[in-house]
Each structure stands twice: as structure tokens, then as C-alpha cells.
Amino acid sequence: MPPEVLRTVNHSLLEYLGHIMISESTINKVRELPIEEIIRPYVKLSKKGSSLMGLCPFHEERTGSFSVSPSKNLFHCFGCDRGGDGITFIMEKEGFPLWTPSSSSRSVTR
């Protein structure tokens, strides 16, 4: 995921999480957790070089295209192009809405 997109997603996520009254320090503590610990309950991961690979939990596939980078603390699926940090993963997997910036108002997307 390009850095500018990731910054936009993280900014939107902070706005949403702030809206539901979770402190920024709590959000930062969750972000510091190893991403593989967050994802392992949902995806069977296997080591491939410096990354971990598995079947994407967001779409049906037979060959794993879901990559987790422990060094960057990010995930990315090469099949459906979803990616982000641990908070993004949980919000998407559990169906929490994401706030998206808008010029005049904020809207919720799924």
C-alpha cells in the first residue's frame, strides 16, 4: 500500500476511533502489538523469507496471496488488494465501519 494511502487510512481510522472514545494512547499501544499475533487467530501463517503468508480471510482463494510483514507491522493481500495495520485488519474482519474524509462532512463506509 503506498505510504500516502496508508497515512490517509490511518488518519481516518484515528478519527473514527476517537469518535467512539478510544484514547490515542490506547490506539498506539494496539499498533505496537506484533501484527502476526493479531492475525494468527484468523489466518494460518507460514514463513516465506522475511514475510509470513496465508490464505486471505477476506476472499476465497486456494493459493495464499495474503502477506504479513512483521518488520513493517503491516499486512497486504495481492489478490484483493486489502492491506494495512493490525487495527485496520480487525476493523475490516469484524465489520466495523471506517470513517472516510469528505470535503463537507464525514461518511461511514463498509
Q: Any long-range contacts for 85-88 (C-beta under 8 Å, 24+ apart)?
A: 85/10, 85/31, 85/35, 86/30, 86/31, 86/33, 86/35, 86/38, 86/39, 87/13, 87/17, 87/27, 87/30, 87/31, 88/9, 88/13
Q: Is the pTM of this model over 0.85?
A: no
Chain centroid, CA 9 distance in Å:
9
CATH, range 3-109: 3.90.580.10
Percent of the chain past pLDDT 90, that is, above it, reads 50
The domains of the chain are located at 3-109
Where would I find the beta strands (DSSP E) of the chain? 46-48, 51-54, 66-69, 74-77, 83-84, 98-100, 107-109
- pLDDT one-digit tens code per residue, 57-81: 999 999 999 999 999 999 999 999 9
